[in-house]
Structure 1
């Protein structure tokens, strides 16, 4: 089954309530997977980066402005990276390191945070280089929570539970992960992006 809920409905009580929902998903899913092509995965976001993102959501959708509360909950959900009970496989597009969220100071801090956490036992992080061959047509981002897929579109959030459809997402993630660089090679891409933002910041 596939269900779609408009963001104005899902966010009618503000951003904090949706973050609570995500925390529940994380707590109930020992092993999650996420593909994020052009921004940083929410559970690795710094407070400054998340503040800009949620502020943009509120501004665009015209939903209640509770950004500080939403950011606080987003920071709370990051505890799953350190509790020793969860594991996450995450694939970012290289573009995520260059999409300007908040300016060079915010971006440099954000990439430095990823470099600090990339070796966590709970995290397997891959980055697909911009020019890498990928055995998968370009696709939107998605999160796999057990037997459910969550997709965030511009106008709505979509939850997919039909097993055959979930299977497509699992195969897509496998192909995307195969195209990504991991370990030291991923760190090289991160350091390259950090140098870029540092150059802009110091110019």
Structure 2
């Protein structure tokens, strides 16, 4: 199902297409005018790719648009970029900067609902586990020069677990432990950290066991922070604020919690993981 971001990008591409058609040039001819390949024009017009500001500037110049039209499209592109930011763009400022964003966002939040698939939620990670997660990320996207500072910032995020006045629900899959991102001794420490977190006042911790039928297909992990849904993909981070979409994610989250192991059941599940994690 298309998200509000997908729809907005498709609508933006449609505006670009109409501008291109006003020049009477076909896609290939327009690409030649810009010095691009034809597939790039097609991807931008169909919403398969988001234009950069340089792309938009070149497009507007080739179409000789008015200042009003140029300003309108620049604002729309800026709004699109606020919804989806690539990891390469984020890590230019460093991983510590990205973690500090989370510190500030979560400190101001009243509601935090995390559903993580392949990783332990950041609010429950040990420093050693966090290091391996961030190093794996840096291996793909770069920016690994400030990992230690990023770990410190991630640990500061966890202070909110012990502050009253919030609803914090942290749900993860057992498969995140069965497919570890860190060595066995680190995973053993991480399992103990999860066990200790169960029963923390004002914090709900749950695990979706393997081979348990889920009420809805868990396609990806996501976080709901107040009225914003954040989804991390391999290449970037998508933020959704459409009320209907946020409501849908909250509904799915409620359904998933119904299948989760909590309290003693979650502890028993984690104990079973210890021999494998510590062997």
Q: TM-score, normalised by structure 2?
A: 0.69
Pairing 1:142–2:227 present: no
Instruction: Find the aligned partners of 2:255 and 2:266 in 1 and give their Cα distance.
Output: 17
Instruction: Find the aligned partners of 1:121 and 1:128 in 2 and give their Cα distance.
Output: 21
| Residue 76 of structure 1, aligned match among 146, 156, 170 | 156
Deviation at 1:59, TM superposition (A): 1.3
Q: Deviations over 1:41-95 (max 9, x none)?
A: 0010000000111111111112352100000100011000112233311111111
Instruction: Find the aligned partners of 1:15 and 1:38 in 2 and give their Cα distance.
Output: 20
- Select the structure that is richer in helix: 2
Aligned Cα RMSD in Å?
A: 1.2
Spell out the pairing of 1:148-187 with structure 2 (5 A cutoff): 148-187=228-267
Whose radius of gyration is greater, 1 or 2?
A: 2
Deviation at 1:15, TM superposition (A): 0.3
Instruction: Find the aligned partners of 2:244 and 2:97 in 1 and give their Cα distance.
Output: 30
Structure 1 residue runs of 4+, over 6 Å off?
Answer: none
Deviation at 1:139, TM superposition (A): 1.5
Give the structure 2 partner of residue 8 of structure 1. Answer: 88
Give the structure 1 partner of residue 137 of structure 2. Answer: 57
Give the structure 2 partner of residue 87 of structure 1. Answer: 167
Instruction: Find the aligned partners of 1:98 and 1:122 in 2 and give their Cα distance.
Output: 28
Q: Which runs of 5+ in 1 are unaligned?
A: none
Instruction: Find the aligned partners of 2:189 and 2:257 in 1 and give their Cα distance.
Output: 25
Q: Deviations over 1:136-187 (max 9, x none)?
A: 0132000000110011000010000011111111111111111111111011
| Residue 112 of structure 1, aligned match among 176, 180, 192 | 192
The answer on whether the counterparts of 1:135 and 1:176 sit within 8 Å (CA) in structure 2 is yes
Instruction: Find the aligned partners of 2:211 and 2:155 in 1 and give their Cα distance.
Output: 32
The answer on whether the counterparts of 2:188 and 2:274 sit within 8 Å (CA) in structure 1 is yes
Deviation at 1:99, TM superposition (A): 2.2
Instruction: Find the aligned partners of 1:87 and 1:50 in 2 and give their Cα distance.
Output: 23
| Residue 125 of structure 2, aligned match among 42, 45, 57 | 45
